Structure 1
Amino acid sequence: MKKTVAIDMDNVIADIATNWISLYEQEFGVRVEKAELLGKPEDFAFPDPAAARSLIYKPGFFRNAPVIEGAVEALKELQKDFDVYIVSAAMEFPNSLLEKHDWLAEHFPFISWRNIIFCGDKSVIGTDFLIDDHLKNLDFHKGMPILFTAGHNVNVTKHTRVNNWIEAVELLKAHVEVV
């Protein structure tokens, strides 16, 4: 039986930070560099945090995010050795449920609808591994939590960290070979 891996969407396979920066500039005329986001909570990295947060509720915010480099190839590779699940806390933002569904259908059509879990609280996810960018999800995971580097978590020292999809695949494949 294959081991299971749950993979978050935002800032793990979907480049929400790049999309957010672009939308903020379009909406408010202020360019924020990605380096300015480092080590800060996502919306607080912008000059006007409330304005930045308002963008999350606008149609298209989740639907139009670019794919994180290497994610498509990595997930295809991982499917050879793992049961891969996409797990996203999509309930907080009204538009995100349909937008995330459509985004996955476009960019990851090889992930079955049976392997997509939209939830509110990821602590109920019981996979062998969880790749996520937030401690609020990783701290309570019963399997092995893996922190995917994002601007807001660069100073976090908790959990095993991967900086990109090449490192993520290497780490997971090493675990399969050891077990």
Structure 2
Amino acid sequence: MKRIAIDMDEVMADLHKKHLDLFNKNYNETLTTDDLFGTRLWKIRPRSADDILAYVDDPTFFRDLEVMEGSQEVIKELNESYEIYITTAAMEHPTSFTAKYEWLKEHFPFLSDLQFVFCGNKSIIHADYLIDDSPRHFKNFKGRGILFSAPHNKYETGYERVNNWEEVRRYFLA
């Protein structure tokens, strides 16, 4: 059975929406997702970068992220034909472990705890495929990297890309 590793943030969980909402509220701004095309929030507001980056260090930040449309249904379907592992680079924000785990248990109850991998460098993941929004995770990954579209990677080229969960379904279950 083939193995698919799936990133959590910006693939299953909508991190950008909450990040933008917090920033806009705290700084009385009206930035939209379109403003993040090809970049990151902290890069377009460098004077606020420390505050922006600190949002994700709040132990509760990841707990109430919105689920990416279609991800629950498609991952459930994939789980019947593939070995599925949710691989999140939680070591970048160790305060996120509990919130991420609780979020996964709430929104993906059909997955086993043994299918969750909290890691740092994803090149250690032994899988046939890695679906991720950050191409840096494909470096030294031995399987096939599939870029999941997100505002910050809009202009990335050189990778197989899926734009949404319906495209993931077609890619793996067609």
TM-score tier after normalising by the smaller chain length: over 0.9
Q: Which moved more, 1:40-49 or 1:146-155?
A: 40-49
Q: Which moved more, 1:51-60 or 1:62-71?
A: 51-60
CA contact (8 A) 1:32 1:46 kept: no
Residue 94 (1) aligns with residue 91 (2): no
Matched residues in 1 for 2:58 and 2:28: separation? Answer: 17
Partner of 2:155: 155
Partner of 1:72: 72
Q: What is the CA distance between 1:32 and its match in structure 2? A: 1.4
CA contact (8 A) 2:13 2:67 kept: yes
CA contact (8 A) 2:149 2:164 kept: yes
Matched residues in 1 for 2:152 and 2:44: separation? Answer: 9
RMSD: 1.4
Q: TM-score, normalised by structure 1?
A: 0.91
Matched residues in 1 for 2:107 and 2:36: separation? Answer: 26
Alignment-mate amino acid for residue 91 of structure 1? M
Residue 62 (1) aligns with residue 30 (2): no
CA contact (8 A) 1:89 1:122 kept: yes
Matched residues in 2 for 1:145 and 1:85: separation? Answer: 14
Q: What is the CA distance between 1:94 and its match in structure 2? A: 2.8
Partner of 2:144: 144
Matched residues in 1 for 2:141 and 2:170: separation? Answer: 21
Q: What is the CA distance between 1:42 and its match in structure 2? A: 4.5
The one-character-per-residue Cα deviations of 1:58-85 (angstroms, maximum 9, x if unpaired) are: 2321112100111001101111210111
Q: TM-score, normalised by structure 2?
A: 0.94
Equivalent residues in 2 for 1:20-169, closer than 5 Å: 20-46=19-45, 48-169=48-169
What runs of 5+ residues in structure 2 fail to find an aligned partner? none
Q: Which moved more, 1:86-95 or 1:50-59?
A: 50-59
- Equivalent position SS for 1:146: strand
CA contact (8 A) 1:128 1:143 kept: yes
Matched residues in 2 for 1:9 and 1:118: separation? Answer: 10
Number of residue pairs the alignment of both structures matches: 173
Partner of 1:13: 12
What runs of 5+ residues in structure 1 fail to find an aligned partner? 175-179
Partner of 1:177: none
Q: What is the CA distance between 1:29 and its match in structure 2? A: 2.4
The one-character-per-residue Cα deviations of 1:91-137 (angstroms, maximum 9, x if unpaired) are: 12132111100110111111100110001110100101100011111
Q: What is the CA distance between 1:40 and its match in structure 2? A: 0.5
Question: Which structure's residues are more often helix, by fraction?
Answer: 2
